Structures are given as structure tokens and as C-alpha cells.
Amino acid sequence: METIQPWWVNMRSLSAVRLKFMKNHFGRPNRDKVTRWLLIGTLGTLFLIADYIFFYRMVAYLDGLPLRVGEELIVQLLNVVFLTLFAMLLFSTIIAALAIYYVSSDLEFLHSLPMVPDAIIHVRFVQTLINASWVVLVFSLPMFIAYGFYFKVTASYYIYLLASFLPFVVLPCALGVLGIMVLMRFFPTDKAHQILSFLGLFFVAGLVAFLRFLSPEKFFDKKVSDEVIIDFVESLRVPEFPYLPSSWITRGLTAWTEANFEISFGRLGFLYAAAGVGLILFAWISRQIYFPGWRSYQEVKNTPRTKNKNNGRRKPLLSYLPIEPMKQALISKDLKVFARDPAHWSQIFILLVLVFVYIFNIMNLPLDNLVLKNVVSVLNIGLIGFVLSALIARFVFSSISIEGKKMWTLYTAPVDMRSFLVAKFWMYWPPLLLVAEILTVASNYILQVDAYVMKVSVVGVLLITTGLVGMGVGMGAMYPRFDHENMSEISTGTGGILFMISSLAYVMLVLVLSARPMYVHFNEKFLFKFVGGIEVPVFYGTIVALTVLVTWIPMKRGIRALRTMDI
């Protein structure tokens, strides 16, 4: 009879398997992988340098404000950054934990092994911690390094920074994983989306309210009076919560730069105590509720769905659209897959956050000059393109890989790969276009632009959405990951990063090509100078031709890749 080993032995075995997987992935690179890694590393390094320079200049600007309010503003800036990071980590953990603990395809195999459930829980916790926090850590550390360089701190500051980051990251991860476990255990699984909807809306409302309360737009005007600065600094004391981890780590870092080590070590003790209590509660509660919750999820997932009696009588809505029956069936299948999997639709909250924050920022831009408003409206096209790139990387690029190991059923069915990709395109293009145009029209209405800029913006966003969706579908077919364990691995892989780089380059190129026509229009409208010629339609035609190419070429290569692929 085979005996069950202690959980730490099982955990070591599972960790060894995960490390061996990573070793095989990174230890045997081919030429294609090396090229991708070099490209990704170069662009990532440039981004980190730009992040450092931006935050360094911001700290320098705030430190130069009169009446010594810069010190207070810098502390508040760090507090806002840490509070935002904490909320992002908590929200990312909830989404990642749902996929890692309940949706991953290897869970049934792991639970069938003679292994203590605690080992699976703890290994998955480390995996969730890494998946949810590595991007936040990589792109936020340059900010705090810039803060240290500006105040010329010693090397001990960076040791303290790393030491305080560990419990600051562990605590929201433990709370997020524990929250999703409680949700899956004590609430009906088919009702889980209602609870996540509430959490998502609560997060959006809290974020917008906090940003609105700070009102940082006051300081964009160079003619800010001392009274306004003093009133603003006094109001900053209202949203500071001394019992939040973000306040602890902020106070610890600022006290360390002031050589007040007693306060720094005290706040560090608070962080480790809170993280320790969180881990103890997580270990105790997860042991009681995880496996029953996972079993309940599997029962509901595998339960045959009862057919609606009215389905046979009611004509599907897709049948009214001018789309071929085969494409209608594929779109209907994708809609059902998207609606049934919480790991997919729960990420809509990210879209809501982007929309609310985007409109909020446009409303609070201090733009009193009509010319400046029109210039910002042109740059707004590029910003919306960047937002679309992130959304398409998360949803559209991943849509091919979501088929998973069941992709072979499409090869055995009378389905052409061209119809398959075109159906993917028509599923995602309308909703993304609707979101992009709402952002465009709403922001331009707030900026009070003229009719010409409004028309160019609407048409430009239409072309950008078309090109990015086509690029996302095509590159998703060129770089699929059918063996993924959760959705986050798809968009963060090499193919997803290459798509992000290509999409951002396309958006920037469109913005550059549209600069000349807008320059001509602004000269005619505000300076009454006619500087344009035949180059205006040439630039517009180039943008249209570029959009056709970035839509058609990836789609064509994606169709060819799927037709020649071995499943």
C-alpha cells in the first residue's frame, strides 16, 4: 500500500516539476526564441528606462514647489502609487486564482495523485503570486529606484525596499486567493459571476472616487496660488488610512530616506505581521474549503445543461445578420464558450476600469486653450489605440488558443480555417469598435473639438480597430498556445508580446501619418494659412493602405499556419 508523504515533500516534488518545465523551456532555445527574447528584452529595457526618467522628473518637480509642500506631495504620490499597486495586485490575484485553482486542465490529474491537498494549495499559491505580481513589480520598481536616486540614499534603502516589497505583495495575494476560495465554496458556482461583478464594480467606483477626491489637475496650471496648494495639502490627510499596508510601506520608505530607522523598522514589522497573519489564515481556511469548492465547481461544470424549451421555437438572433450559416455557428459557439467560462468574462472588469478612468482623465484635463484641446483630441486617437492594443491582446489574440486541445474537432468538422478566423474577427470587431467610438465621441465632446477633427477621429479609430483586430486574430493563429494552463499565459507569452510590440508600432505610425493633415487643418482654422496640398489625401490614403495590410497579411498567414499545423 502506497503511503502519502508529508505535504512539504509533495510540495518539493511539484516545485521540481515546475522548475524542470521552466528549464526545458528556457534551457533549449532555438533561433526563433532567442530573437524574440532579445527583442522583448531590448524594448522592455527601454520602457523601464523611460519609466525611471519620468518618475525622477516628477519627484524633482514636486520637490521644487514652494512652501515645502513638495515633501508632503511626494509622500502622497508614493501613497497613491502603493495603494494603486495593492488594488491591482488584489484584483489580478482574484482573476488569476480562479484560473489556476479551478480551471487549469492539470488539476484533475494532480488531485488524483496520492498527495496531500496542502501541497497543491501551496504550490498553486506561489504560482498565483508570481503570475499576478511580476509585471507590477518590474514596472513599479524603477519608480522607487528613481525616488532613492533623487534623494541620494545609501544602498541600505534598496535592501529595505526589497524587504518591504515581499510582505506587501504576499498580503493581497493571500487575501485574493482566499476570497475566491470562499466564493467558490459557499456560493453556488453558477452565481459566481454575480459576486465578481459586484467586486469589479466596487473596485471601479472606489478607484474613480479616489482619483476624483485627489483632483491632481489643479497643479497643471503654472498660476496656482499658494492658498490652493495649502488647501490641497491639508485635504490630502483625509484619504490617508494609517492601517493600510500602502501607508505602512510609504511611511517606512520615506522615514528611511530621513534616517528615521525606528519608524522604518516599525512599519516593516507591521507589514510582516500582517503578511504572516494572512498566510496563517490562508493555510488554515484553504485546507478546509478548497477541495470541497473545487469538487463543487467540477460537478457544476460537468453537469449536462438542460435545454431551454423555447430554443427550438425561437429563431437565433445571429440568423438575422448577413453572415454565412457556418460563420454564424462558429460565432454562436464562441459566445457560449465566452459566457460559460468565468476566466474569460471576468476580465471585462478591466475594460470597465479603463473606460471609467480614461473618461475621468479627459474630463479633468486643464485645457483652457481651444488649440490645445484640438491637439489633445488628435493625440487621443493614439491613446485609444494603445487601450485597444491591451484589450485585443487579452481577448482577441487569446481567442485562438482558448480552443485548447479540442481544436482537433474543428479540423475533423467541415470547417474551413478561413471561415474560422473570419468568424473570430466578426465576433470581436463590433463590441471593440463600439467601446472605442464611445471613448472617441465622449472625449471629443468634452474637449469641444470642431466637426472636422471629430470626423477624422471617428474614421481613424474605425481603421485602427479594424487593423488591430485583424492583427490580433491573425497573430493569435500564427502563435497559438493550445496547451496553456490558464489564460494569462497566452497574452504574456512571446507571441502576445510580439503582438503588443507590432500593434503599438502600427498605432504610432498611424498617429505620425495623421500629423501632417492635422497640421494643415489647424493652420487653416486658427492661423488662416493655407499650407496644404496634394499630400493630405496621400497621407490619408497611406493610412488606409497600411490598415489593409496589417489586417490582411496577419490573417492570411494565420490561415496558412492553421491549415499546415499538426494537432
**What is the distance between the alpha carbons of residues 139 and 536, in angstroms, rounded to a whole number?**
39
Residue with the larger pLDDT of the pair 174 and 534 = 174
**What is the distance between the alpha carbons of residues 182 and 124, in angstroms, rounded to a whole number?**
16
Residue with the larger pLDDT of the pair 334 and 289 = 289
pLDDT for the residue 551: 92
Q: Are 410 and 489 in contact (CB under 8 A)?
A: no
pLDDT for the residue 324: 67
For residue 230, pLDDT over 60 is answered with no
Q: Cell numbers of 269, please?
A: 514589522
Q: Are 465 and 433 in contact (CB under 8 A)?
A: yes
pLDDT tens digits for range 380-405: 788 888 888 878 887 888 888 877 77
**What is the distance between the alpha carbons of residues 460 and 437, in angstroms, rounded to a whole number?**
10
pLDDT for the residue 559: 87
For 118-132, 344-358, 534-548, which range has the lowest pLDDT when averaged over its residues? 344-358
**What is the distance between the alpha carbons of residues 147 and 139, in angstroms, rounded to a whole number?**
14
Domain boundaries in the chain? 28-299, 324-564
Contacts of 105 (CB under 8 A, 6+ apart): 404, 405, 485
**What is the distance between the alpha carbons of residues 233 and 220, in angstroms, rounded to a whole number?**
15
For 102-116, 206-220, 513-527, 535-549, which range has the lowest pLDDT when averaged over its residues? 206-220
Exposure string for 498-511, b = 16+ CB within 10 A, e = fewer: bbbbbbbebbeebb
For residue 308, pLDDT over 60 is answered with no
For residue 237, pLDDT over 60 is answered with no
Q: At what angle do helices 155-186 and 69-98 cross, to 10 degrees?
A: 40
pLDDT for the residue 238: 41
pLDDT tens digits for range 352-386: 666 666 666 666 665 566 666 667 777 778 888 88
pLDDT for the residue 361: 63
Closest CA to 287 of 119, 112, 132, 128: 119
Cα distances (angstroms) measured from residue 396 to each of 392, 471, 472: 5, 9, 6
Closest CA to 498 of 356, 383, 397, 348: 397
Q: At what angle do helices 31-63 and 494-522 cross, to 10 degrees?
A: 50
**What is the distance between the alpha carbons of residues 62 and 75, in angstroms, rounded to a whole number?**
10
pLDDT for the residue 274: 93
**Per-residue 3-state assignment (H helix, E strand, C coil) for 205-249:** HHHHHHHHHHCHHHHHCCCCCHHHHHHHHHHCCCCCCCCCHHHHH
DSSP reduced 3-state for 560? helix
The average confidence (pLDDT) of the chain is 76
Closest CA to 69 of 254, 255, 234: 234
Closest CA to 510 of 550, 469, 565: 550
Closest CA to 494 of 414, 408, 393: 393
pLDDT tens digits for range 347-356: 666 566 666 6
pLDDT for the residue 1: 42
| Model confidence band, residue 426 (pLDDT cutoffs 50, 70, 90) | confident
| Model confidence band, residue 531 (pLDDT cutoffs 50, 70, 90) | low
**What is the distance between the alpha carbons of residues 280 and 428, in angstroms, rounded to a whole number?**
43
DSSP reduced 3-state for 50? helix
**What is the distance between the alpha carbons of residues 401 and 413, in angstroms, rounded to a whole number?**
18
**What is the distance between the alpha carbons of residues 177 and 191, in angstroms, rounded to a whole number?**
18
pLDDT for the residue 487: 63
Q: What share of the chain has pLDDT > 90, as a percent?
A: 10
Q: At what angle do helices 31-63 and 117-150 cross, to 10 degrees?
A: 50
Single-letter residue type at 396: V
Residue 322: exposed, middle, or buried by beta-carbon count in 10 A (0-12, 13-18, 19+)? exposed
Cα Dmax for the chain: 92
**What is the distance between the alpha carbons of residues 399 and 416, in angstroms, rounded to a whole number?**
17
